Amino acid sequence: MRRFLFPLAIFLVLAGFLAVGLRLNPREVPSPLIGKPVPAFRLAQLHASDKSISPEDMRGKVWLLNVWASWCVSCKQEHPVLIDLNRQNRIPIVGLNYKDERGAAITWLNQHGGDPYAVSAFDADGRVGIDFGVYGVPETFLIDKAGTIRYKHIGPVTEEALKSKILPLAEELSRG
Amino acid sequence: MADLLLLAMRKSALALRRFLVLAFSTFILAPAFAAEGGAAQPLGDPVVEARVNRLAEELRCLTCMGQSIADSQSSFSSDMKREIRGMIVAGKSDKEIIDFMVQRYGDFVLYRPPVKSTTWLLWGGPFLLLVIALAFLAVKLRKRSAQAGSELSESEHRQAASLLGKSEGDGK
């Protein structure tokens, strides 16, 4: 009986490691930008190419930066959630329209229920996206009043992610 | 009947050979030609390109798990290569370029992550396992040699001698 104990112990340890490993999402790479100042940029606005937008303009507010594109399939999934969030008027959402075409992006917004963004920055070649460490769209950053990145959500924003993590943290940051 | 069978076998052998040739040409040769076609594109300065490739091999493509930026054709990788190329042309050192990537994408982007408090298990784990296995082996071997080398007691000697004597006696 005792000689089975050792292999059994090894098996249990291995099974434990695999159980944890299988639950991890390999696409969720922790961002080194959490706790760092938001990368500086000044980009043309999506809807008005003669106007610009910069994180500086958002100083003093707690805000979300949502990276999106008309070619991004899972952006469709989060779009209604963002529209709903915008309606609640709880936190301003700034869009970063990533590697897109102006016409396609605006058409996409019109076709998918409207524009949830206070303003969208137009990052045609994706250079600003690289500064944010963007590797898969959509990605969403929570930025505090001082312009520090506090949280990053990878993949489509869900009601649950908003309720359990993003909005409570945003409220805490607004009070502080 | 046997002729028919032979014919059928020869036919299927031919079909198999044709299939293998086709498979070989599509899966082995075609990518080789494709790679040649890719390399034929005008790429500018070969010295710069060699550096781009060397750096790209050190960096992980984050959208296509398990491939380096050099190996991958994804748009993420081509953006990264464009950035690397731009920084090389701007006179940045290899270390500056790698640091640029780590600042944005974290240590995960490196195929050879630095040794630090969060990665010591990653680097040391295999050696740790080796030490444990060697210790286990040493204990086992010592136990075994202790058993083999143990002296027989007086009564066991007598018993052995009598058994041997008996068997010799039987043999005669």
Which of chain A's residues have a Cβ under 8 Å away from the Cβ of B108?
Answer: 29-30
Q: How confident is the model at residue B10 (pLDDT cuts 50, 70, 90)?
A: low
pLDDT at A95: 96
pLDDT at B25: 53
* Greater pLDDT, B26 or A54: A54
Residues B140, B98 within the same domain: no
Residues B104, B138 within the same domain: no
The arithmetic mean of pLDDT across residues B130-156, rounded, is 86
Q: Which of B67, B87, B109 is the last residue of a domain?
A: B109
Nearest CA among A156, A67, A43 for reference residue A117:
A67
pLDDT at B40: 39
- E strands, B29-90, where? none
Q: What is the DSSP letter of A69?
A: -
Q: Which of A29, A99, A126 is closest, CB to CB, to B106?
A: A29
pLDDT (tens digit per residue) in B43-63: 678 888 899 999 999 999 988
Q: Do A32 and B104 touch (CB under 8 A)?
A: yes
The yes-or-no verdict on residue A80 having pLDDT over 70 is yes
B24 found inside a domain: no
Cis peptide before A138 (omega within 30 of 0): yes
Query: What mean pLDDT is reported for chain B?
Result: 78
- For B66-86, give one letter per residue: b (16+ CB within 10 A) or e: eebbbebebebbebbbebbbe
B162 found inside a domain: yes
Find, in chain B, the residue whose alpha carbon is nearest to that of A137.
B63
Find, in chain A, the residue whose alpha carbon is nearest to that of B79.
A126
Asked if the interface predicted TM-score (ipTM) of this complex is over 0.90, the answer is no
* Greater pLDDT, B61 or A3: B61
Q: Which of B109, B131, B154 is the last residue of a domain?
A: B109
pLDDT at B16: 58
* Greater pLDDT, A78 or B31: A78
Q: Do A135 and B63 touch (CB under 8 A)?
A: yes
B21 found inside a domain: no
Nearest CA among B106, B101, B118 for reference residue A34:
B106
- A vs B, Cβ pairs < 8 A, gives 33
Nearest CA among A65, A76, A64 for reference residue A108:
A76
Structural domain count of chain B = 2
Residues B93, B53 within the same domain: yes
CA distance, residue A130 to nearest chain B CA (Å): 7
Q: Do A29 and B83 touch (CB under 8 A)?
A: no
Residues B54, B86 within the same domain: yes
B137 found inside a domain: yes
Which of chain A's residues have a Cβ under 8 Å away from the Cβ of B79?
Answer: 126, 130
B114 found inside a domain: no
Tell whether B79 lies on the interface with A, counting CB pairs under 8 A.
Answer: yes
Which structure tokens are listed for B81? Answer: 């290569």
Distance between CA atoms of A26 and A28, rounded to whole angstroms?
5
Q: Write the burial class of residue A109 (CB in 10 Å: 0-12 exposed, 13-18 middle, 19+ buried).
A: buried
B37 found inside a domain: no
The arithmetic mean of pLDDT across residues B121-128, rounded, is 90
Give residue B87's domain range: 46-109
Q: How confident is the model at residue B38 (pLDDT cuts 50, 70, 90)?
A: very low
pLDDT (tens digit per residue) in A120-147: 999 999 999 999 999 888 999 999 999 9
pLDDT at B37: 38
CATH number of domain containing B73:
1.10.8.640
The arithmetic mean of pLDDT across residues A40-48, rounded, is 95
pLDDT at A170: 95
B152 found inside a domain: yes
